[in-house]
Amino acid sequence: MMNVRQSALATLTRCDRDGSYSNLALDAAIKAGDFSPADRGLLTALVYGVIERRITLDYLIDRLADREPARIDPQVRNILRLGLYQLRYLDRIPPHAAINESVALATRKSAGFVNALLRGYQRQAKTLTLPARQDGLIPYLSVNYSFPAPLCERFVRIFGEERAERILAAFAVQPPLTVRVNTLKTTREALLAELAAQGHSPTPSPLSPDGILPGSAAPLHEGVASGRFFVQDTASQLCVRTLDARPGDTVIDACCCPGSKSFGAAIDMENRGRVLCFDLHKNKLSLVSAGAERLGISILETDARDSRTYDPTLCGIADRVLCDVPCSGFGVIAKKPEIRYKDPADSAALPDIQLAILENNCRYVKKGGVLVYSTCTLLPEENEENIARFLARHPEFSPEPFSHSGITATGGTLTLTPDEHGTDGFFIARLRRAAH
């Protein structure tokens, strides 16, 4: 059986070689190993930490190496990243353990190189510096916050220098777990008391009246299995509140998986009405149905379909339509660290796909009904610019102001960011169809 560091190395190798998502590769590694809770925590910290800090770690490795960076074998580089991450970022691991365990991962041929480089870092740690701001803004942001230069440049253009740095820094902070109360089965007050009795330190979400921050890493399996709550980021909860589904409504969730927004809408509707849950991926819809059953929701109807394709039987039937469209994901980097390494240019085709989904599904909104568009990215071409394109083509829709817990969207659109709101990066637009 692999130990924790062997499993971490194998997981990182799988992510590099196969392009696997880190969360899926990590889940597979945890299931394959008989790890204690402490070891599972260390494995998670190592995998996510190395991926998150890869640019910083590689900068240090390349400065310390006695050979050309290109000559360092990819497997050896991952071993060095693991060792260096422990030395630089994990205070509870003794340096000698981090070095010795890393050397043990190496082959006989590379063990001496790994040992020498890590001991070299240990000797030079206080004098080995990263690029300073005066060395150039983009190199400074890229190496210090471990983001590729193209994404740093995009964020600076969008938000300005100071705000871009704050956002990059916020993405390095693991966001707190947030759950949504299932008010079909309990109340927030009762769930707060229940979680406290189980040894958690729960607090109400300051932004969502349905949200709770459990405040503890203790397992939540019992509560999830009972259906009294489900995991949902605050930004996603606010998206559902913007939809404002009412009992008896007909709601369409055009891109529903993994289902949390459909669940939230059905709960707001007191499980009365219809929630039509569509998604391109048929295999994921069974998980939505299973989740609904666990939560005691009976009004969800699932169907696999491409939401760009018109269905005349749905024309004008919905009181509310939610288009939570596929996006580049440059708002959930804290939870999915590998997203930071995507080139923003690779997302150039997404805005047209998103607009096609929005334009098709707008036809399903009743006169006087509500259309909500959302993404988990911070790129304006997928957000504000797409809404502007849509409104220019559809004068029957107009932006409608909304507010949540003191956050006001006077123009009908809202961008949530981790630095200001402590949430995922998220965009929400609320549009109202003319009544006549």
Q: Is position 143 within any domain?
A: yes
Q: Which residues contact 239 (CB under 8 A, 6 or more apart)?
A: 261, 322, 324, 372, 374, 426, 428
Backbone angles phi, psi at 203, to 5 degrees: -135, 150
Asked if residue 397 and residue 350 are part of one domain, the reply reads yes
Owning domain of residue 79: 4-124
| Helix, strand, or coil (residue 176) | coil
Asked if residue 393 and residue 282 are part of one domain, the reply reads yes
Boundary residue ending a domain (144, 170, 196): 170
How far, in Å, CA of 106 to CA of 136, rounded? 36
Boundary residue ending a domain (70, 98, 124): 124
Q: How many independent structural domains does the chain possess?
A: 3
Asked if residue 140 and residue 273 are part of one domain, the reply reads no
Element at 286 (helix H, strand E) = helix 282-295
Tell me the CATH number at 355. Answer: 3.40.50.150
Asked if residue 77 and residue 150 are part of one domain, the reply reads no
Count of Cβ atoms closer than 10 Å to residue 159 Cβ: 17
Q: Is position 406 within any domain?
A: yes
Asked if residue 342 and residue 267 are part of one domain, the reply reads yes
pLDDT at 224: 78
Residues 257 and 287 sit within 8 Å (Cβ to Cβ)? yes
Catalytic residue among 15, 152, 256, 376: 376
Residue whose structure tokens are 């230069």: 149
Q: Is position 334 within any domain?
A: yes
Asked if residue 9 and residue 91 are part of one domain, the reply reads yes
pLDDT at 218: 62
pLDDT at 98: 96
Q: Which residues contact 54 (CB under 8 A, 6 or more apart)?
A: 81, 146, 341
Q: Is position 162 within any domain?
A: yes
Asked if residue 166 and residue 313 are part of one domain, the reply reads no
Boundary residue ending a domain (124, 158, 180): 124
Query: Could you please report the per-residue DSSP string of 67-115?
Result: S-GGGS-HHHHHHHHHHHHHHHH-TTS-HHHHHHHHHHHS-HHHHHHHH
* Ordered mean pLDDT values, 10 residues apiece, the chain (436 residues): 89 88 88 88 94 97 88 94 97 94 96 96 93 96 97 97 97 90 97 91 95 80 84 96 98 96 98 97 93 97 96 98 97 94 91 98 98 98 98 98 94 96 96 95
Q: Is position 222 within any domain?
A: no
Q: Is position 72 within any domain?
A: yes
Q: Is position 195 within any domain?
A: no
Element at 180 (helix H, strand E) = strand 179-181
Asked if residue 161 and residue 104 are part of one domain, the reply reads no
Amino acid letter, residue 249: D
Q: Is position 142 within any domain?
A: yes
Q: Which residues contact 124 (CB under 8 A, 6 or more apart)?
A: 64
Tell me the CATH number at 70. Answer: 1.10.940.10
The verdict on whether 376 is a catalytic residue reads yes
Asked if residue 416 and residue 357 are part of one domain, the reply reads yes
Asked if residue 410 and residue 280 are part of one domain, the reply reads yes
Q: Nearest Cα to 256, choosing from 209, 219, 297, 221?
A: 297
Asked if residue 427 and residue 372 are part of one domain, the reply reads yes
Q: Rounded to 5 degrees, what angle do the CA atoms 428, 430, 435 make?
A: 170
Asked if residue 404 and residue 257 are part of one domain, the reply reads yes
Q: Which residues contact 99 (CB under 8 A, 6 or more apart)?
A: 83, 87, 115, 118, 119, 122
How far, in Å, CA of 215 to CA of 201, rounded? 5
Q: Nearest Cα to 385, choosing from 415, 421, 340, 341?
A: 415
Q: Is the peptide bond before 37 cis (omega within 30 degrees of 0)?
A: no
